[in-house]
A = this chain, B = another copy of it.
Amino acid sequence: MGDELRDLLHSPNQGHEKAEPARSRWTPKPEQILILESIFNSGMVNPPKDETVRIRKLLEKFGSVGDANVFYWFQNRRSRSRRRQRQIQASLNGGEPPQTSGGAVHSYGYSGVSSFMPSHSLFLPPSGSSSSSCGSVGHHDGVDGMFSFSGHMSIPEREQAPHVNSILCSSDGSILCSPSDSVLQYQSVAAVIMLLIYLCISFKLQTPPAWKMASKDWKSSWEQGPILGNFQ
């Protein structure tokens, strides 16, 4: 039966265009991934329900998505981020350290500090105010040269803070981020871009967010975790 449904959804309209959903699993668009990634990196690794809804609304500007998708995304992100972290730790530790010695464990502490970003939803206005007009739907093209970056980022993988501050917090660098983390700055780039986008949108500029990006390369290079650990 599920097959029937699937068939129904599949067999027809498979000709052209794009608006027609080929029902299967959600496939986040690059822009959406950027947003999600940014939010995650901003410290909100586990958005509460209301935030999730808002995030979804934001994401919907770039393609259909549901709350569940957002929820799952964060769940998986947290989970995989953590797991990887652990693996790295483990391998770093050596071949096999079955030690139970004093090494207290767990608490994969995200000791990082948040960036200058208020670690909370800066994408999402406080309330369902007028800011993000969800009505805007369906224009994915337009500004074609808003940002142009070249090269690609190759971020190893490190569970650390994005450090947007590395650039922003010039003066005294009160926050963390060592100068050698230059690579990490690329992560910030994306976050910042999203911020810009958000601003454009929320300020009603309604600027059709349209950039382009290599959905291929960047993806692989974006493997890192949250920062967080903040708040209390």
Contact = CB atoms under 8 A, between A and B. Distances in A.
Given A25-B107, A148-B189, A2 B170 contact: yes
Interface in A190-232: 190-201, 204-205, 207, 209-224, 227-228, 230-232
Number of copies: 2
A21 interface: yes
Nearest to A70: B221
B19 A178 contact: yes
Interface residues of A, number: 138
Nearest to A49: B218
B218 A48 contact: yes
Contacts of A173: 6, 23-25
A182 B215 contact: yes
30 contacts: A1-B112, A3-B170, A6-B170, A22-B175, A23-B172, A24-B174, A26-B174, A27-B176, A27-B177, A48-B217, A49-B220, A51-B211, A63-B102, A63-B176, A64-B105, A64-B106, A67-B222, A68-B108, A72-B108, A147-B189, A151-B186, A182-B210, A183-B212, A183-B213, A186-B186, A192-B197, A193-B196, A195-B200, A199-B201, A213-B231
